[in-house]
A and B are shown apart, each in its own frame.
Chain A
Amino acid sequence: MKKLKRMYRIHRIFMAQEFKRMMEYKGDFIVGIISFFLVQLSNLLFLWIIFSRVPDLMGWSVNEVIFIYGLSLIPKGIDHFYFDNLWNVGFFIVRKGDFDKYLTRPVNTLFHVLSEKIQIDALGELIMGIALVCVSIPAISADWDVFRVLAMIFMIPFITLIFTGVKTITASVAFWTKRSGNVIYMFYMFSDFAKYPASIYSRVVQNVITYIIPFALTSYYPALFILKGKDPLFNLGMPVLAAVVLMGLGVFVWHRGIRAYESAGS
């Protein structure tokens, strides 16, 4: 408990520093938020053009597709907002030897790296995701009840950890190879599959994104329960399980990696 309290204090002070830093570079951050918003907007435009040609996408209505799309953006945006520093680990921090700093401080290195930075651009994704979910829900004729809405909110932290877990594992690769930014990138790109209902993919792809690099668990499966009330044990249980396993694995690989860390210079 004392430990958690300390972590919270450190996290808060890091956040405060980040906001101060952001105020120094306001313009850059505003442009960043807008651009992430624009990326999403162009994808929406794509969906809109598609749905002007076809009435539904293999049984999924336009609103359901938008719901899934929006739902996939929320955990992605949260992870992007809080834990984006992992990219820096993969691209720069290890290679340039800047990881030294974390090792000389009496704080858990992973916690330090994760809590040190926030990425304000993520708001572009996050706001868009929340907006899409809110806009699509009233248009979908599902049996809404409190439990489904609560389930959705309850799931979001876990789903976020699926992203963070995958990023932590792949970022740790840098401890052995010096640079793993593109490894993070490759696995992170699997999250693109989460944008659409997983049933449009082939069997093989579905299995991969459900059991191996489980990004389908971040939107499609929870949506199956939230929209259609299907199989809560699997559709909610699997994402939680995956989050715990991936994050656990991430912490493990990270600490193994530190032992292999070579710093930089002579």
Chain B
Amino acid sequence: MITADKLRKEFKKTVKEPGLKGSIKSLFKPKTEKVTAVRDISFEVAEGEILGFIGPNGAGKSTVIKMLTGILTPTSGSCTINGKNPVKNRKSYVKEIGVVFGQRTQLWWDLPLRETYGVLKEIYEVPDDSYKKRMAFLNEVLELDDFISSPVRTLSLGQRMRADIAASLLHSPKVLFLDEPTIGLDVVVKDNIRRAIEHINSREKTTVILTTHDLADIEQLSKRIVMIDKGSKVFDGTIAALKAEYGQIRELSFETGTPNAVKTLDYTGHFKLGADDLSLEGEGKSVKVRFNSAAVPVSDMLSYTLGKISVSDISVKDADIEEIIRRLYEQGVDG
């Protein structure tokens, strides 16, 4: 359905030297350098799939999304949706997609929300009867009724996000792009939004491409993720595969009666581990150890611990995806 083929984007960037002297210098002779924001990224997305797009800040996520939505023209490479290309025919391409940027709104700021939908109906040429049906559907999923008559500037962030998602879905697009859809929202609102997205995806088979910093979004919504770092794709697969490949982290937690248990346990010395592979935190009786099970087998960990101190309760857990990705970001994936 969606095909990205060797997408590449280069920017020119003005380099500024620090301080007063630097500012005066750049006043007369600005220096520029070429920055490659995205390096030859390729992937495909199937119809009805929810793809999570992740990567650290400045990795090039937004640039990829903006190329996929026809906002930026790729330096080289191409992307197509059902064979349509945004560079060649932007207008017919964008009818296939809906776009929501979490930090920006496409609603008419000073007017009641209802007015925005009226304008978008004309822009996207939605016929009257399907518009009515569509609004009823969006109303049901996103609960717009409470605030549809209020001026947009008076909406809360959560309401505004729901309104924006509805705006992007008015013309029944085949693909929905969501860039940070839950940014700045509280837990309950986040959950509402996620459920709405899930609902729309399952009911209409809308393909969803989602970027986010909140990995709970990804865990709840998408089966597959694409991770990029420094402009390159570093992972493309299911969450299960990500866990299998990078998720050797285990968390061992136990309750102990031994006083000063944390001091007694010298994991790093005993197993000769680096800070990357082990972290230890203890609070009163309960102690938590995160460790890399590739470096130390779980059984060794257990027998060492049980041999050193007295333990009343013990459990071993898989690391969650957040932990895996945090470590990947910190280490740099290829490093």
| A-to-B contact residues, CB < 8 Å | 6, 9-10, 13-14, 17, 20-21, 24-25, 97-98, 100-101, 103-108, 258-263, 265-266
Which residues B67-104 have CB closer than 8 A to chain A? 69-73, 90-92, 94-95, 97, 99, 101, 103-104
Let me know if B115 and A106 touch, CB within 8 A: no
Most buried by B among A106, A261, A263: A106
Q: How far is the CA of A164 from the CA of B111 in the complex (A)?
A: 28
Is there contact, CB below 8 Å, between B71 and A261? yes
In contact, A100 and B71 (Cβ under 8 angstroms): yes
Known pairs A103-B70, A103-B90, A258-B73; A13 contacts B118 (CB<8 A): yes
Closest partner residue, chain A, to B105 (CB atom) = A101
Interface pair A20/B111, CB less than 8 Å apart = yes
Within the complex, the shortest CB–CB distance from A263 to chain B, in Å, comes to: 5
Report whether A106 and B94 are in contact in the complex, using a CB–CB cutoff of 8 Å.
Answer: yes
Tell yes or no: B271 within 8 A of A by CB. Answer: no
| Chain B residues engaging chain A, CB cutoff 8 angstroms | 11, 37, 57-63, 66, 69-73, 90-92, 94-95, 97, 99, 101, 103-104, 106, 108, 110-111, 115, 118-119, 122-125, 151
Nearest-neighbour CB distance to chain A for B327, whole angstroms, equals 22
Q: Which of A14, A100, A261 contacts B101 (CB 8 A)?
A: A100
Closest to B97 in A: A104
Shortest beta-carbon distance, A163 to chain B, in Å? 26
* B119 engages A13 (CB within 8 Å): yes
The smallest beta-carbon distance between A248 and chain B, in angstroms, is 20
B225 to chain A, nearest CB (A): 19
Contact B111 A13 (CB under 8 A): no
B71 touches A263 (CB 8 A): yes
Contact B58 A266 (CB under 8 A): yes
If the complex has contacts A100-B101, A104-B97, A266-B62, are A17 and B115 also in contact, measured as CB distance less than 8 A? yes
Q: Which residue of chain A has the shortest Cβ distance to B62 in the bound complex? A: A266
A101 touches B11 (CB 8 A): no
CB-nearest residue of chain A relative to B151? A24
With most chain B CB atoms within 10 A of its CB, the pick from A6, A104, A263 is A104
Nearest-CB distance from B151 to chain A (Å)?
A: 8
Report Cα–Cα, A10/B120, bound state, in Å: 9
Beta-carbon contact of A20 and B115 below 8 Å: yes
A261, B73: Cβ atoms closer than 8 Å: yes
Which residue of chain A has its CB nearest to the CB of B168? A104
Establish whether residues B101 and A103, one from each chain, have CB atoms under 8 Å apart when the complex forms.
Answer: no
Which A-chain residue is minimally distant from B101 (CB atoms)?
A100
Q: How far is the CA of A6 from the CA of B90 in the complex (A)?
A: 18
- Residue in A14, A106, A262 whose CB lies within 8 Å of B72: A262
What distance in Å separates the Cβ of A174 from its nearest Cβ neighbour in chain B?
A: 15
Question: 4 other contacts beyond A13-B122, A20-B111, A266-B60, with CB at 8 A cut-off?
Answer: A13-B118, A17-B115, A105-B124, A106-B92
